[in-house]
Amino acid sequence: MADVIGVAWATQWVRASAAAVGEHRMELIDLDRAIGDGDHGENLDRGFKAVLVKLDNPDTAPPETVGDVFKLVATTLMSTVGGAAGPLYGTAYLRAAKAADGATVDAAGVADLLDAAVGGIVARGKAEVGDKTMVDAWTPAAAAAREVADGGGTATQALRAAATAARTGAESTDPLVARKGRASYLGERAIGHRDPGAQSSALLLEVAADAAESAESAQ
């Protein structure tokens, strides 16, 4: 079993993210319609489509490292997504790019880049766990990856644990009142609805784990 992941994984993750966000566009729009302004699915779909265009641009050299891939995602999401999620996701990928400074990433590296992503989201949005935001997905995801790394697991296992924790974290937003973002204007009317950003975060992390597992099975 491969202990590390590299640029091929990161590139595959981005492609799969664009596909998954496209597939789940309406679901994310509906979630954001319920407790926001209904643009989250549209915003992310536009952003990841723009990332693919840059990735496939024949006039620019393909990214050589995991950090290069994340930097491309960060700058593109920041300039195309808009809303709250654009800068939040952009900062997450930018911090992750800085954390992923080597050619490959092992399980501890996965935990490092997820910690960096959480740090970026929190630095920008000032949300805590329980505020009904994407932080409720990313924080347990980073912790789960760290636990796998500390236990001697592989990068792929760390990503799968992160994805599972992110999904549970997204589900945990259902009964919450929002304390950050547009949904916070709704008070108790947000109860019973999933936070769209937490849902998209879980989706992206699931695709990250899928990409690592499919790279492994191809070996």
Which parts of this chain interact with Mg ion (CB under 5 A)?
A: 32, 36-37, 39-40
- Residue closer to ligand ADP by CB (options 106, 195) is 195
Of 205, 202, 209, 206, nearest to 28 by C-alpha is 202
Q: Which of residues 104-163 bind ligand ADP (CB under 6 A)?
A: 121, 125-127, 133-135
Q: Which does 198 bind (CB under 5 to 8 A by kind): Mg ion, ligand ADP, none?
A: ligand ADP
Q: What is the DSSP string of 139-193?
A: HHHHHHHHHHHHTT--HHHHHHHHHHHHHHHHHTTTTPPP-SSGGGGGGGGGTT-
Question: For the window 33-72, what string marks contact with ligand ADP as x by the rule CB under 6 A?
Answer: ---xx-xx--x-----------------------------
| Separation between Cα atoms, residue 169 and residue 205, nearest integer Å | 12
Of 149, 104, 114, 143, nearest to 10 by C-alpha is 104
Distance in Å, CB of 125 to ligand ADP, minimum? 2
Residue nearest Mg ion (C-beta atom)? 36
Footprint on this chain of ligand ADP (rule: CB under 6 A): 32, 36-37, 39-40, 43, 83-85, 88, 121, 125-127, 133-135, 180-182, 195-198
